[in-house]
Chains A and B, each alone.
Chain A
Amino acid sequence: MVSHPGTLSPTINIDPFQAAQLLGHRLNETPEFKAFLAASQAVHNDVTLQKLSAEMRAHQTALQWGRDPDGQHAAELTRLELVIEDLPAMQEYREREKEVSTLFQAVDKVISEEAGVDFAVNAQHTGCSCGG
Chain B
Amino acid sequence: MELTPEIQDAARHLGQCMRQDDYIRKYLDALEETHIDPEASALEKNMYDEYERLIAREQAGEILSNADTRDFYELRQQVQDNPLITRRNHMHRQIRPYLNQIAEEISFVLGVDYTILAKPH
Q: Report A's interface with B, CB cutoff 8 A.
A: 3, 5-8, 12-17, 19-28, 30, 33, 37, 40, 97, 100-108, 110-117, 119-126, 131
| Complex CA distance for A22 and B10, rounded to whole angstroms | 7
Q: Give the shortest distance, in Å, between B77 (CB) and chain A (any CB).
A: 18
Closest residue to A1 on the B side, CB-wise? B9
Interface size of B as a range: 35 or more
Classify the interface of chain B: helix, strand, loop or mixed: helix
Q: Which residues of B contact A100 (CB under 8 A)?
A: 117
Whether the pair A20, B106 counts as a contact (CB closer than 8 A) is: yes
Q: Which residues of A contact B120 (CB under 8 A)?
A: 105, 121
- Which of the listed residues B7, B16, B108, B111 has the most CB atoms from chain A within 10 Å of its own CB? B16
Q: Which residues of A contact B117 (CB under 8 A)?
A: 97, 100-101, 104
Q: Which residues of B contact A7 (CB under 8 A)?
A: 16
Q: Give the shortest distance, in Å, between B41 (CB) and chain A (any CB).
A: 17
- Which of the listed residues B1, B3, B116, B117 has the most CB atoms from chain A within 10 Å of its own CB? B117
B101 interface residue (CB < 8 Å to A)? yes
B19 interface residue (CB < 8 Å to A)? yes
| Complex CA distance for A19 and B119, rounded to whole angstroms | 19
A-B contact pairs, 9 of them (CB 8 A): A20-B105, A22-B10, A22-B13, A23-B11, A26-B7, A101-B121, A110-B11, A111-B15, A114-B18
